[in-house]
Chain A
Amino acid sequence: MGAGRLYLAVAVGGFRRYATYRLATAAGVFTNTVFGVILVFTYLALWEERPGLGGYDQAQAVTYVWLGQCLFATLAIQGGGAEKELMERIRTGEVAVDLYRPVDLQLWWLAGDLGRAAFQLLGRGVVPFLFGAVFFPMTLPTDVGRWAAFTVTLVLAAVVSFAIRYLVALSVFWLLDGTGVNQALMIAGVFFSGMLLPLNAFPGAFGEVVRVLPWAAQLQMPADVLMGETGVSGALAFQAGWAVVLLAAGRALQSAATRRVVVQGG
C-alpha cells in the first residue's frame, strides 16, 4: 500500500517534470504535426501505387501515420525518456547515491517513465492525432470496448518501451559510454517499431521476424487493435509477454549492476 503511494508519487513527479517544459512541448506538437502531414502524403502516394499494402487501405494507412506521431514521444521511440537520465547518472557515478534510498530502482524508473509517457501522450500526442482525425480520412472504432482495449495496449506499449530502454541504459555500467548504444537504440527504435513503414508491410522472412520483436509491441500492436486488424487478446498477450521477459531481464541486469556498484563504486 505504502509502496503503491510512493511509486504513484514518482509517476506524478515524472508527469509534472515534463509539464514544466511548455515551450519544448509546443515545439514537439508542431514538429509531430508537420511530420505527420509529410508522412501522410508520402503514404498516400505509396498506397496509390500499392493498394492494400500491409493489409491496410488508405484510411488505415493515414490512421497509422497519426498514431505514430501521437506515440513517437510518448513511447520515447527514439529514446529520450527515463533512460537518458539514468545513463547520465551511471556515467557520473551519481547512481551510487540512488542506492541508499529505500526504493526499488527498476520500479522507481518505471514509475517516473510512465508519468513522463502520460504527459507526452496528453501534452504532445493528442493534438497531432486530433489534427489528423479532423483533416484526413481515418479509420477509428466507434465502440467503447475497442477504445478501452486500445488504452490497455498503450499502457503495455509504454511498459515494453521502458523495459527495452532500461536494459540499454544499464549496459552503460559495462560500456562506460552511452553514445553508441544510444544511437543503436534510436535507429532500432525508429525502424523496428514501424515508425517509417508499418511492420505489416515488411516482406518475407524479414517481415516475419520484425513482427515478433519487442518493438512490434510499441506501435504496431496498438495500431492494429485500434483499427481492428488483430485480435485483442492475442495482442495483449504478445505485449504482456515481452513486458514480463524484458522486465525480468532488466531485473537480472540491475542486480548484476548493483553488485558491481557496491563492489567497484560505479
Chain B
Amino acid sequence: MGDEAFIEVDGVEKVFDVRRRTGFLKRERRRVQAVDSISFRVARGEMVGYIGPNGAGKSTTIKMLTGILTPSGGRLRVAGIDPSRERTRLAHRIGVVFGQRTTLWWDLPLIDSYRLMHRMYRIPDARYRENLDRLVELLGLEDLLEVPVRQLSLGQRMRGDVAAALLHDPEVLYLDEPTIGLDVMSKARVRAFLRELNAERGTTVLLTTHDLQDIEQLCSRVMVIDHGRLVYDGALAGLHEVGESERMLVVDLERELPPIEAAPARVVKVEGPRQWLAFPASESAAALVARVAADHPLVDLSVREPDIEAVIARMLHSPAESAQVPREDVGRVIS
C-alpha cells in the first residue's frame, strides 16, 4: 500500500489563452504556459512540499488535481479517478484549502459552516461529531465556534478552513499557501496540526508554500516548480545542496572590528559594529556562533534562513553542478 501511487501526474500541461484588449476593437491573444509537461507520483500517506516562485504554476497544478481545471495535455489520476471528468465523485475524497480564499460562511458563526459541510458531504452523524470534536481540539477552535467568520483573525480563519476541509475524512489534503500572511504562532499551530494529521491518520498532504520553514518542518520530500517546469524532486537536504543555499548570521559586536574569520562562513557585509556572515545552510549555526563568540565581543545576533526564491535562483543558475547531482539522497534534478 505504501508505495502505491495515489496521485499520478504524467506529462501534464496547462496552457491559458489570454485575450486582452489593447485598443478600441483591437485584441491581443497570448498563450500562457502555466504548467509545462510535469510528471510526478505521490504515494498514499506522503507529505510533499510543492514550492516555487510566484507565478510558477503551483496553484494551477493544485486546481488540476482537484478537477476544477482541465489539463491541456497529459494524464492525471487521483485515487484512480480523472479529476476533471469526475469532479463531484472525487470531491468526497479530497480536502482543499486555498490560503487566500475561504470556504467558510463569512457572516455566520464558524459552526454554521461546519453544519453545512456535514450535509454537503453527507457525513454520518456520529462520524461528524467525532471529527468535529477532534479537529476543534487539535486546532484550538473551542472558543471560536460561535464567532462570525468575519471577526476571526487570519490565523484563526485559516485553522477554521483547515478543519472545514477535513470533516469528511478526505484521503488527501491539498493546501495552497496555508501559512501565507500568518503570524509565527499561527504558523506553528497549523504546522504541528498537519504533522499530526499525517502521522496519525496517514492523510496524504500536498502543500504549496513560499515559506521554506513550512517544508523544513513538515516535508521529507519537496518538489520545485519554476516557469511551469518541475526542476527538482527529492529531499530537502538535497535541495540545499543543489542550491548551495546559505544562511546568514548577523552579529552586533561591541565595537567596529575587522571582518571576522570563521571559515566556512565568510563576511559579506560590514556596517559599523554589525557584520553579516554567510554560511552553508547545512552547517550548524550553533557551532559557528560558539566559534565567533569565543574571540569576539558579541552584543547581539540573529540567524536568517535562506528564502526560497534565493535557493531556487541559485539552483537554476548553477546547471553545471545540478546536472551531476542525481545521487540517491539528493533527489532528482530535472532539467
Question: Which residues of A are in contact with B by a Cβ distance under 8 Å?
Answer: 2, 5-6, 9-10, 13, 16-17, 20-21, 94, 96-97, 99-103, 261-265
Contact = CB atoms under 8 A, between A and B. Distances in A.
Chain B interface residue number, banded? 20 to 34
Given A16-B112, A97-B68, A265-B69, A102 B60 contact: no
17 contacts: A2-B122, A6-B122, A13-B105, A13-B112, A16-B108, A20-B108, A96-B63, A97-B68, A97-B96, A99-B68, A100-B91, A101-B120, A102-B92, A262-B68, A262-B69, A263-B69, A265-B16
B88 interface: yes
Contacts of A21: 107
Contact of A13 (B66, B70, B94, B108): B108
A264 B120 contact: no
B108 A102 contact: no
Contacts of B116: 6, 9-10, 13
B119 A101 contact: no
Contacts of B107: 17, 20-21
Contacts of A5: 119
A148 B119 CA distance: 31
Interface in B110-134: 112, 115-116, 119-122
A100 B108 contact: no
A17 B113 CA distance: 11
Which 7 A-B pairs have CB atoms at the shortest separation, nearest pair first? A6-B119, A102-B91, A99-B68, A17-B107, A9-B119, A100-B66, A262-B70
A15 to B, nearest CB: 10
B87 interface: yes
B324 to A, nearest CB: 38
Given A16-B112, A17-B105, A262-B84, A97 B98 contact: yes
Contacts of A20: 107-108, 148
Contacts of B91: 100-102
Contacts of B200: none
A74 to B, nearest CB: 19
A94 B115 CA distance: 22
A20 B108 CA distance: 8
A58 B122 CA distance: 54
- The SS class assigned to the B binding surface is mixed
B56 to A, nearest CB: 15
A102 B105 contact: no
Interface in B31-90: 60, 63, 66-70, 84, 87-88
B103 A99 contact: no
Interface string B240-284: 000000000000000000000000000000000000000000000
A96 B68 contact: yes
B17 A264 contact: yes
Interface in B170-213: none
Contacts of B66: 100
A100 B176 CA distance: 14
A5 B128 CA distance: 15
B115 A97 contact: no
Nearest to B96: A100
B101 interface: yes
Nearest to B66: A100
A264 B68 contact: no
Contacts of B92: 102
B120 A102 contact: yes
Given A13-B116, A17-B107, 18 more contacts: A10-B116, A13-B112, A16-B112, A20-B108, A96-B69, A97-B98, A97-B103, A99-B87, A100-B67, A100-B87, A101-B120, A262-B68, A262-B69, A263-B69, A263-B70, A264-B17, A265-B60, A265-B69
A20 B112 CA distance: 13
Nearest to A259: B70
Contact of B101 (A94, A99, A261): A94
Contacts of A16: 108, 112
B325 to A, nearest CB: 34
Nearest to B16: A265
Contacts of A96: 63, 68-69
